[in-house]
Amino acid sequence: MTRILGIDPGLRVTGFGVIDKDGSQLRYVASGCIRTCDRETLPQRIATLFNGIGEVMATYQPDAAAVEIVFVNVNPQSTLLLGQARGAALSALAQGGLPVAEYTALQVKQAVVGHGKAAKAQVQHMVVRLLQLAGTPAADAADALACAICHAHGGLGGMAALGGRAYRVRNGRLIG
């Protein structure tokens, strides 16, 4: 069994999701968001993210991590802030000695929904189905779980996520 920590980095909200992979079986463990306050200084916000991910790691003891590759924002200042948030996430993982894989949003969507142009709601929907969740996680947590699922399937696209089941998928929804 491998426990995978997925992370969707952001300065205001960093999503995390923990799943167990046992053969072709995936099991939900935990997910949530680490939030920072925009009235704090940047060093304080980075510390919150760094320490928050450290707490998640200490609590759930993952074996591997998968971090979404963030997109370059239109606003260079936002890009710089996002980069720093991602640096905090990678640093926390480095401190824990975790092997880190990186996936683009395209790869994550392909692995979870089956195509790279899926909407956020489709990703959430498929995360709920694949992990058999009772409720829908927040968008950032769902993205983090999706990133962990992508890693669990070797980062490969397509419907590997569905294993041997005879499901059919249309527009990212299970229909069979």
Site for a second copy contains 46 (CB under 8 A): yes
Binder of a second copy out of 13, 32, 60, 102 (CB under 8 A): 102
| Cα Dmax for the chain | 51
Active site residue 63: no
Nearer to a second copy, 82 or 161 (CB): 82
Q: Which of 38, 68, 102, 143 is catalytic?
A: 68
Smaller CB separation from a second copy, 88 or 146: 88
- Among the listed residues 4, 34, 57, 70, the single contact to a second copy using CB under 8 A: 70
Active site residue 40: no
Q: How far is CA 105 from CA 41, 97, 132, 163, in A?
A: 29, 24, 22, 21
- Cβ atoms of 36 and 11 within 8 Å: the answer is yes
Is 171 a binding residue for a second copy by CB under 8 A? The answer is no
**What does DSSP assign to residue 64?**
E
Range list of β-strands (E), 23-150? 25-35, 64-69, 100-104
Q: Is 68 a catalytic residue?
A: yes
Options 22, 63, 140, 143, the catalytic residue: 140
Q: Known catalytic residues?
A: 8, 68, 140
